[in-house]
Amino acid sequence: MAVTLEQARRVGYTCLKALLRFAFMVANNLVAIPSYVLYLIMLQPLRVLDSKSFWYIEGVLFKWLLAMVASWGWWAGYTVVEWGDDVKAVSEDEAMVLVNHQATGDVCTLMMCLQDKGTVVRQMMWLMDHIFKYTNFGIVSLIHGDFFIRQGKAHRDQQLVLLKEHLEKYYRSRNRKWIVLFPEGGFLRKRRETSQAFAKKNNLPFLKHVTLPRLGATQVILKTLVAPQENGTPAGGDAVVKESKSKGLQWVIDTTIAYPKGEPVDIQTWILGYRQPTVTHVHYRIFPVKDVPADPEALTNWLYQRFIEKEDLLTHFYETGAFPPLQGQTKAISREMTLSNLWLVVIQSLAFLSGGMWYCIFQYFYHCLF
């Protein structure tokens, strides 16, 4: 089949745009991530004298880094429409966010849609696969205090012990508020067949758009972070709780990400921008933590029910192009999430100015020494 001149031009433009975007992303990483690390190295005396102020500044820098990632998708036309409960109402409370997992772009989508949720981004902790530790963003997540979990039966028990210790050590001492996890334990395309076989064997619902979640990390988070008055368990380190006067985990936010035609955006697309502008849809349901059972069997059933509901939500979305209305509503209400282009430009400019500043400082010391 012959390729027309117009098609060739279109392909050439797409390739050139992808190349330029990739070059910008590399440059962005080369200035922003080292600057983040160097600023925090310089602020180590403040960490000793006033830990709270240090982690506040770190949180602001962390939010700016996530905003830079969000900008790569935003400027490519990958936007977000939100449905369901308004999570801004609980942005200052502690919450656990349960998200379905389809592709690497899910994390980028969350980085974007949580940017306008008050202090959430700078005070959140992520649970992610250990492979992300070895990406360009790994050093940032390590400093911020995110937890990298190793998948597989051989590591499961040990990882849950390490998660509990990590939460007790870092969650409240760094004033974290939201914790984000993907309970399915992997991408949909990789886990669907195994999940369906498990469901058939145990007489559980057959799911196509999500997989059955795993209990371990969710149970550890609830046991460690929920305040004693909620379920009678410790809130994660007596000394830290007394110091922070935390109310403990108060909400569970069930978050469902849906892509048009079920075609997820991956990180390569987010960076290169070769896909046509796409609207990703994010649905929220907020549950008080007091309504979440503590008993393992009851919690398993509760968690399964959330993902069965996700299946229904996604089935409805793929059939109609919209999520169904919340209980008590006659019509589903959507909200278009927006980012300020001016704000994104300012943050990007600060990153490149910081990179230039650190380069000049190193050049100066190099010439002084040699």
How far is 370 from 294, CA to CA, in rounded Å? 63
Partners of residue 81 on adjacent β-strands = 281, 336
What is residue 132's predicted lDDT score, i.e. its pLDDT?
84
Contact 32, 72 (CB under 8 A): no
Residue 120 pLDDT > 90, yes or no?
yes
- How many other C-beta atoms can be found within 10 angstroms of the C-beta atom of residue 12? 10
What is residue 103's predicted lDDT score, i.e. its pLDDT?
92
Q: For the whole model, what pTM was predicted?
A: 0.89
The answer to whether position 239 is within a domain reads: no
| pLDDT-based confidence at residue 227 (cuts at 50, 70, 90) | confident
Q: Cα-atom radius of gyration of the chain, to the nearest Å?
A: 22
Q: Is 24 left (phi over 0), alpha (psi -120 to 50) or beta?
A: alpha
What is residue 2's predicted lDDT score, i.e. its pLDDT?
59
| Tens digit of each residue's pLDDT (9 = 90 or more) over 261-277 | 999 999 999 999 989 99
The answer to whether position 240 is within a domain reads: no
The answer to whether position 242 is within a domain reads: no
Residue 11 pLDDT > 90, yes or no?
no
What is residue 240's predicted lDDT score, i.e. its pLDDT?
40
DSSP string, 43-86: THHHHHH-HHHHHHHHHHHHHHHHHHHHHHHHTTT-EEEEEES-
Q: Is 354 left (phi over 0), alpha (psi -120 to 50) or beta?
A: alpha
As a whole number, mean pLDDT of residues 146-172 equals 89
As a whole number, mean pLDDT of residues 15-39 equals 94
How far is 60 from 123, CA to CA, in rounded Å? 9
What is residue 244's predicted lDDT score, i.e. its pLDDT?
45
The answer to whether position 237 is within a domain reads: no
The answer to whether position 258 is within a domain reads: yes
| pLDDT-based confidence at residue 243 (cuts at 50, 70, 90) | very low
Residue 10 belongs to domain spanning: 5-227+247-324+331-369
Q: Which two tokens stand for residue 344?
A: 């994104």
The answer to whether position 215 is within a domain reads: yes
The answer to whether position 233 is within a domain reads: no
- For the chain, the domain total comes to 1
If you ran DSSP here, which 8-state letter would residue 121 be given?
Answer: G
The answer to whether position 149 is within a domain reads: yes
What is residue 36's predicted lDDT score, i.e. its pLDDT?
97
Q: Is 257 helix (H, G, I), strand (E, B) or coil?
A: strand
